[in-house]
Structure 1
Amino acid sequence: MSTSDVTKDGIEGKRPGRDALIGQGTGKGERRRRRGERAMVPKAEFTSYYGKPVLNPPVWQAADIAGYFFLGGLAGAGSVLAAGADLTGRRKAARALKVSSLVAIAGSAAALIHDLGRPARFYNMMRVMKPTSPMSMGSWLLAAYGPAAGAAAVLDVTGLFKPLGRAATLGAAALGPAVASYTAVLASDTAVPAWHDGYRELPLVFVGSAAAAASGMALLAAPVRETAPMRSAAVFGAGLELAAAKLMERRLGMVAEPYREGTGGRLIRVAEVLSVAGAAGGALLGGRSRIAAALSGAALLAGSACTRFGVFHAGMQSAKDPKYTVVPQRERADARDTAKTGNG
């Protein structure tokens, strides 16, 4: 029992050696720290305010935006392959790719407008040209590419104004790579962790996926004798897509979890199987059998679509879980502090 008391003259009956030592540990604690024993109190775990997401997940719908990603890639890469087929005398393959690019870019624009809610919003995005905005530049890109792809397809089918049709084909091919890849830049420009942090590799994933899809369309729709370059493009596209995706997952660390788990992870795994099967089937059997070429083409198209939908769902999942936003921020802050301490 304590015998000390607080009076107006101070503390009476105070026992010596009983004062708390501020900022000093006991001898026993010091010995424990010297021995490297683990602290009894664990490090505080991160949680968000009332468990709410740090970010507001995008309100985009999968069918609209993932479909917009896929169809835009198919159109852009298809125009590049169509120009190559045209220049090498593969007329039927070139026509099939031109028509598919026109249909795909029309579907892509329709999906985007449907997500925006009304067509006037697409028009409003073109009232200003802002080079630092992927959405603004993408709108102008679609406005330039769409008529070129349309003219290339229509003039090829009708046989009218062949010089103009050739110019439209080359113009669409020149814009095709940007059309195939700019949606990755658009996604990376958001705050969604799985997209934003993958800004280096995601455009390569989209370009490879687009090349595989366009090659698959050629295998599906063109005569076997005209598809040799497309079979090579399918192998290149599938290889680029898989290599870039694996590199991105390795670099992102914890943020790459949505690409391996949940709906996004399942779709990515299916995409890998379909892309490899389609590229291998096209390379080994696509030049011998029409059925094998068609099946390989369908697998490549389906694999590309699964990639785009997988990337979409992975991004949405990463936006809903606060840890994918906060933990990397803390790691970067700790790394900066460590670097400052080392330099100091």
Structure 2
Amino acid sequence: MSARHAASPGRRDEGRAQPAGGGDGEYTTYYGRPVVKAPPWEVDIPAYMFAGGLAAGSSLLAAGGDLTGRPALRRAGRLTAAGALGFSMVALIHDLGRPERFLNMLRTMKLTSPMSVGTWILSLYGGPAGLAAASEVARWAGLRRGPFRLLAALDRPAGVAAGLTAPPVAAYTAVLLADTATPSWHESYRELPFVFCGSAAAAAGGAAMILAPADQAGPARRLAVGGAVAEVAAEQRMERSMGLTAEPLHHGKAGKLMTAAKYLTAGGAALSLLAGRSRVAAVTAGAALLAGSACTRLGIFEAGIASAEDPKYTVVPQRERLRRGQPVRYEG
């Protein structure tokens, strides 16, 4: 959208939006339309981001469990990763409308497009993660002959490959959000990948604490606590760096979700310290961390939509950039 389309019916100042009547009042635009257009995404996208992060963290845990002789942790991680990956793909395809649209994105690779790069990252990760899960099921069913012999041979290489390709899966959705013109997403570009990676680690650790026995879930507990601490610390730093555009994170539906995320994540991390001695604590901590991670994704999603609907979050930061002599882009 051009600069002149951001003007207010209350007053003009070189074509930029002004509070009606001047001053610091409510910002309005021609016909009451937003300065930037919010992405037409629904709840499918935060669900896709949460499940993708859970899958990535679980593959890391599964690879570690395999290499350190923890078969129950390996099994829990691989099956969780496969289930979460399948759910995320269903959510993504549902948002796209038709399955072939996902396949069409694989016809080329555009390095300047986070969506294109993310599609390839997800595809490179999905193959090994699926093979590792299939090998786990074949092992459980006692299938070791014929084609299943090859599957057994690929067991560890597939698991390690899934673990190595997992971190970009957890981080790229943050880059996807920050690459848009949506104010609260765009201004969080520095810290949002760290928030999402910490959230993914906390969720994966929580899921493994629920599924794996306590004597093999030590790495899951440590990953859960470390991920929770990283998520909370990165989110606090992100809010400070975002300036005015952090406001939507504290108000309305987004504010409630982000508050719930903080309490659930902190509470789950605290309970994780007791999970090695209490099965009830392990399950409760795991459930809290999973719920906290989901609330974080949904809260950030809702905050971005709210920031796009209010012209203030586009206009005021742009004015600050003009005062500092920085370039300003007007986008629709």
Common fold by TM > 0.5: yes
Q: Secondary structure at the match of 1:57?
A: coil
Stretch moving more, 47-56 or 107-116 = 47-56
Per-residue deviation, residues 241-288 of structure 1 (Å, max 9, x unmatched): 0011111111111110011111111101101100111111011x1000
Equivalent position of 1:94 in the other structure:
74
- Kindly state the Cα deviation for residue 44 of structure 1 after the two structures are TM-superposed: 7.8
Work out which of the residue numbers 307, 311, 314 in structure 2 matches 1:322. 311
- Kindly state the Cα deviation for residue 51 of structure 1 after the two structures are TM-superposed: 2.6
Aligned equivalents of 2:307, 2:256: Cα separation in 1: 15
Work out which of the residue numbers 53, 62, 69 in structure 1 matches 2:49. 69
Equivalent runs, 1:15-54 vs 2, <5 Å? 43=23, 46-54=27-35
Structure 1 spans left out of the alignment, 5+ residues: 1-40, 338-344
Per-residue deviation, residues 129-177 of structure 1 (Å, max 9, x unmatched): 1111110011111112112111001102212443311000011001100
Aligned equivalents of 2:84, 2:23: Cα separation in 1: 53
- Kindly state the Cα deviation for residue 236 of structure 1 after the two structures are TM-superposed: 0.7
The 4+ residue runs of structure 1 with deviation greater than 6 A are none
Equivalent position of 1:287 in the other structure:
276
Equivalent position of 2:136 in the other structure:
156
Aligned equivalents of 1:154, 1:172: Cα separation in 2: 13
Tell me which amino acid in the other structure corresponds to 2:192.
L
Aligned equivalents of 1:258, 1:69: Cα separation in 2: 20
Work out which of the residue numbers 112, 134, 141 in structure 1 matches 2:92. 112
Work out which of the residue numbers 181, 184, 196 in structure 1 matches 2:186. 196
* TM-score when normalising by structure 2: 0.86
Aligned equivalents of 2:284, 2:107: Cα separation in 1: 44
Aligned equivalents of 1:44, 1:194: Cα separation in 2: 20
Equivalent position of 1:247 in the other structure:
237
Equivalent position of 1:296 in the other structure:
285
Equivalent position of 2:113 in the other structure:
133
- Kindly state the Cα deviation for residue 43 of structure 1 after the two structures are TM-superposed: 4.6
Aligned equivalents of 1:158, 1:286: Cα separation in 2: 30
- Kindly state the Cα deviation for residue 123 of structure 1 after the two structures are TM-superposed: 1.1
Counting matched residue pairs gives 295
Aligned equivalents of 1:44, 1:303: Cα separation in 2: 36
- Kindly state the Cα deviation for residue 296 of structure 1 after the two structures are TM-superposed: 0.6
Aligned equivalents of 1:162, 1:89: Cα separation in 2: 17
Equivalent position of 2:39 in the other structure:
58
1:172 aligns to 2:162 (yes or no): yes
Work out which of the residue numbers 260, 267, 271 in structure 2 matches 1:270. 260
Equivalent position of 2:324 in the other structure:
335
- Kindly state the Cα deviation for residue 120 of structure 1 after the two structures are TM-superposed: 1.2
Aligned equivalents of 1:282, 1:288: Cα separation in 2: 10
Equivalent position of 2:6 in the other structure:
none
Tell me which amino acid in the other structure corresponds to 1:289.
S
Percent identity between the aligned chains? Answer: 54
- Kindly state the Cα deviation for residue 42 of structure 1 after the two structures are TM-superposed: 6.5
Q: Secondary structure at the match of 1:286?
A: coil
Task: Go from structure 1 to structure 2 and tell me whether the alpha carbon gap of 1:266 and 1:44 turns closer, same or farther (over 3 Å shift).
Answer: closer
Q: Secondary structure at the match of 1:243?
A: helix
Q: Secondary structure at the match of 1:235?
A: helix
Aligned equivalents of 2:112, 2:131: Cα separation in 1: 30
- Kindly state the Cα deviation for residue 306 of structure 1 after the two structures are TM-superposed: 0.5
Equivalent position of 2:196 in the other structure:
206
Structure 2 spans left out of the alignment, 5+ residues: 1-20, 140-147, 327-332
Could you say what the CA RMSD is over the residues aligned between the two structures, in angstroms?
1.4
Stretch moving more, 109-118 or 141-150 = 141-150
Q: Secondary structure at the match of 1:126?
A: helix
Q: Secondary structure at the match of 2:324?
A: helix
**Higher alpha-carbon Rg:** 1
